[in-house]
Structure 1
């Protein structure tokens, strides 16, 4: 399973999530504590928003701990919204096109999880993309395909409804084909203005997701596992939830595949 971290708020140097904390994302790349595998060395990536609508992006197949360019970029780049990911491959080779985050237009997306029997579902899933989105697919992962399907289903109009429709489609397709119905999905995605995250699993064993305020900026970070030992600061996002980080702060909603009716949750995040 992969590890990731995302931030939205006043501009912040990427290193404050990626490399500086005691349990930074780079530290998690070789010593994750809340994942099935402690090592996430199959590549990494960062996507950040600045003065242009579309995000900048840097990805490579090296382990995050061994790439000096990543530490240098994280120290120099300051952004109000960014996504960072270290990969433990469950499908698709170790190549740059398979490293997260994935980008299409102004949207960026990263994922931790899996689709059971994906090799049997991949072709019918790809057939649902229009020609432009099919041509935009450069890698071989289930993650990139989920992202493009969400684009197909209206990510720009209603991001959470599009993601719910995408996951519902995968579950229905697996059932129709007589395959194992299992989606584990903890993802973050953004259009450069709002940061969204979803934690969901068919079997109620979704990969972890935590939220905490960044006191100095008034912003929030979302992470696969806490970046430090300040247990009072970190709140675990429940399975079956969506998070929306926008101008008005953080909102946690119920999330279910197939349909999405926004409803404010009662999650309290310190700050």
Structure 2
């Protein structure tokens, strides 16, 4: 499928996690250890915020992430307090720039790993449910972008967790109406520059992998001489498909059917329970 990560904390140079870590996102694009596919070479994207209230910047490309020299230059130049990065393995839809994550609407960025099963059969019903005022903003053909615009339709900008739960319930109901037994598998990230909302859920309760860092305050005590930890600060939060390094005590797997919300150094975890709107 895909691999992604999202970060919030002190401004961090993007190459720290995209290139420099032992099992960086670029390494995962070639040698994923926990993904459904080993190679994720059908395009990539990064989205970052200069200021929480600004519309985020994006750079997306259909080339494999490991061969894009401009990405390496950008990752070296950009320092951001919040960003999302994604490497894609396409399912059902073509490799094109508009299908590369993260997707953007206003201040919101959205990234997804997984799939809507039998998407061609349910695509029309899902798209018809998107709010008319949002529909013109859809650029690509992926199930992931449709999930994003459904979440916006169900109130992502006002109540992110509830909107994601309503989106999932609608996708599952639509899929089962079309005879799809396990309609959805996902890890998703949505952020507006002030918070990161990350959910792990699947209809079959066997979701793709998802991890987050443990307390950076604790990590400072465990690894006082590691400059990467010092740079991020004590309130940093990183959520990602696969750990970046094999450091004991650094990573914790997010449980099945769980959503995490990170905002201003506070991290909360809740059961993820799809609910009909």
Report the Cα offset of residue 201 of structure 1: 0.7
Distance 1:227 1:126 in 2: 36
Q: How many residues align?
A: 260
Report the Cα offset of residue 175 of structure 1: 1.7
Report the Cα offset of residue 36 of structure 1: 1.8
* 8 Å CA contact 2:182, 2:204 repeated in 1: no
Structure 2 residue aligned with 1:239: 256
Report the Cα offset of residue 179 of structure 1: 2.8
Deviation digits for residues 12-39 of structure 1 (CA, Å, limit 9, x no counterpart): 1111111110100001000100012110
Structure 2 residue aligned with 1:180: 181
RMSD over aligned CA atoms reads 1.3
Distance 1:231 1:45 in 2: 29
Unpaired segments ≥5 residues, structure 2: 217-228
Q: Which of the pair is proportionally richer in helix?
A: 2
Distance 1:202 1:231 in 2: 31
1:76-91 matches, cutoff 5 A: 76-91=77-92
Structure 2 residue aligned with 1:139: 140
1:60-75 matches, cutoff 5 A: 60-75=61-76
Structure 2 residue aligned with 1:265: none
Distance 1:255 1:170 in 2: 15
Q: Per the alignment, in what secondary structure is the counterpart of residue 7 of structure 1?
A: strand
Distance 2:179 2:36 in 1: 27
Deviation digits for residues 132-157 of structure 1 (CA, Å, limit 9, x no counterpart): 21111110100000000100110011
Report the Cα offset of residue 259 of structure 1: 6.1
Structure 1 length as normaliser, TM-score? 0.93
Distance 1:19 1:212 in 2: 18
Q: Per the alignment, in what secondary structure is the counterpart of residue 195 of structure 1?
A: strand
Structure 2 length as normaliser, TM-score? 0.91
Distance 1:41 1:27 in 2: 11
Q: Per the alignment, in what secondary structure is the counterpart of residue 7 of structure 2?
A: strand
Report the Cα offset of residue 181 of structure 1: 3.1
Q: Per the alignment, in what secondary structure is the counterpart of residue 151 of structure 2?
A: helix
Distance 2:176 2:204 in 1: 14
Q: Per the alignment, in what secondary structure is the counterpart of residue 132 of structure 1?
A: coil
Structure 2 residue aligned with 1:225: 242
* 8 Å CA contact 2:115, 2:184 repeated in 1: yes
